[in-house]
């Protein structure tokens, strides 16, 4: 729970620097690709090579996840941070 709240505070602070959620989403995706490629190059992780069949299979999940992150970032931009601190 503390990590989740911390992420909201960090995202809220970042949203004040980058007012467009799509910019933040793009930066997060690009940094993820760079990190994964670096781990692959250093042989710290391994996964099967890319194939078009796998891409077609994973496309709906990828689109839904991207929409989820995008809408979440837009919500954080409009969220009053003290409101999120209320326990569930």
pLDDT in tens, 55-67: 899 999 989 988 8
Residue 51 belongs to some domain of the structure: yes
Residue 72 belongs to some domain of the structure: yes
Residue 88 belongs to some domain of the structure: no
pLDDT category at 80 given cuts 50, 70, 90 is low
The span from the CA of 50 to the CA of 32, in Å, is: 16
Structure-model confidence comparison of residues 82 and 35, the more confident one: 35
Q: What share of the chain in percent tops pLDDT 70?
A: 80
The span from the CA of 77 to the CA of 18, in Å, is: 10
Residue 33 belongs to some domain of the structure: yes
Predicted TM-score (pTM) above 0.85? no
Token duo for residue 44:
């710290």
In the chain, how many domains are there?
A: 1
Q: Which domain holds residue 47?
A: 2-83
């Amino acid at each position: 729970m503390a990590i989740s709240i911390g992420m909201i505070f960090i995202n809220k602070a970042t949203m004040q620097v980058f007012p467009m959620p799509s910019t933040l989403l793009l930066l997060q995706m690009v940094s993820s690709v760079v990190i994964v490629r670096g781990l692959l190059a250093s042989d710290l992780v391994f996964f099967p090579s890319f194939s078009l069949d796998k891409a077609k299979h994973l496309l709906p999940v990828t689109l839904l996840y991207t929409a989820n992150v995008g809408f979440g970032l837009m919500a954080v931009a409009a969220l009053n941070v003290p409101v999120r601190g209320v326990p569930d």
